[in-house]
Structure 1
Amino acid sequence: MGYLEFLSQFEMAGIILQLVVLPLLVMKLRLFWWAKQSMQWPKVNGKVMKGIIFRMPRSLDFLFTYEINGTTYQGYKPFFYNSYKTLNVKKVSNLMDTYPEGKQVVVYYNPSNHKIATLEPGRMDGVLGALALLFLLFALGFISFYNPYLLVKLIDHVSKL
């Protein structure tokens, strides 16, 4: 406990910010990696079991199935995305038209983990924006912890403008 007593408020805030942002950053980097890699993944035929239903609290209900080596898998997302909130009404309408219930689709699946699959390889709506914001917040936490006086000087400079 003695070490924490010597930390300034900026240093403590920097530690907390980094601890909060790091898991989110890892999750978004994983989505980005999967979206990039999905363009080289093997493909198999699948079927939309439940067409896209857009619910009011901005959530999508969707289900497709595919079979690999006799095992049936299910997917719940047509592509990799940050949040359903990045989808506007026009995009959702296009998705509803593109993936109606019963439609035969091509599914691109991760060869090392067959449970990870996508219908639109390479598509990553909102992931790059989320990554940029998380990198910025992580850098801010890093600066707050390792050089809090730089942050104080920056705040003083901005406040004088």
Structure 2
Amino acid sequence: MDFINSFSQLQIAAIILQLVTLPFLVMKLRLFWWAKQSLQWPKVKGVVVKSLDFPLSKIIDFLYSYEINGTTYHNEKPFFANSFKNFSQKKASILMNKYKEGKQVTVYYNPSDPSIATLEPGRMDGIPNTIALLILLLALGFICYYNPNILVELSN
């Protein structure tokens, strides 16, 4: 119990910040890795099952299917992105015209896990910026943990 009591409130906040940030950083790094690797993934023909619908809620409603070795897979996102909520109406309309229902598409799939696929290899909207922000937050957590007085000194 003395060990926990030896931490300042700022150090506890720094630990919490690191614990919250780390899983998000791992998820975004994984998306970044898949986007980079997708440039070398094998490709197969697929079809758009449900065309892109981009209502005011900005929740992407899209589905395409593809078959590998007799197994049919479905995927909901045309490319790796941090979020589809920041799409402008112009970007959404471009995607809606590009991926109409019934259209034949080329699907690039992960040979290790064919359920992971993309229609636009290498595209990673918003992921690098998010990774930079998460690394910055993680670094801030480390700095505040090891030198808890630094924020007090900087604010004075």
CA distance in 2 between counterparts of 1:47 and 1:8 reads 57
TM-score (norm 1): 0.94
Corresponding position of 1:113? 113
Q: Taking every aligned residue pair, what percent have the same amino acid on both sides? A: 62
TM-score (norm 2): 0.97
1:40 aligns with 2:40: yes
**How many residues are paired up?**
156
1:15 aligns with 2:15: yes
Name the one with the larger helix percent: 1
Name the one with the larger strand percent: 1
Matches within 5 A, 1:71-110: 71-110=71-110
1:126 aligns with 2:126: yes
Output the aligned Cα RMSD.
0.9
CA distance in 1 between counterparts of 2:17 and 2:123 reads 29
Gaps of at least 5 residues in structure 1 are: 157-161
Deviation of the 1:56 alpha carbon: 1.9
Task: Kindly provide the amino acid, as one letter, of the partner of residue 142 in structure 1.
Answer: F
CA distance in 2 between counterparts of 1:107 and 1:155 reads 52
Gaps of at least 5 residues in structure 2 are: none
Query: Are the aligned partners of 1:86 and 1:125 in contact in 2 as well (CA < 8 Å)?
Result: no
CA distance in 2 between counterparts of 1:105 and 1:52 reads 14
Deviating runs (4+, > 3 A) in structure 1? none
CA distance in 2 between counterparts of 1:87 and 1:144 reads 35
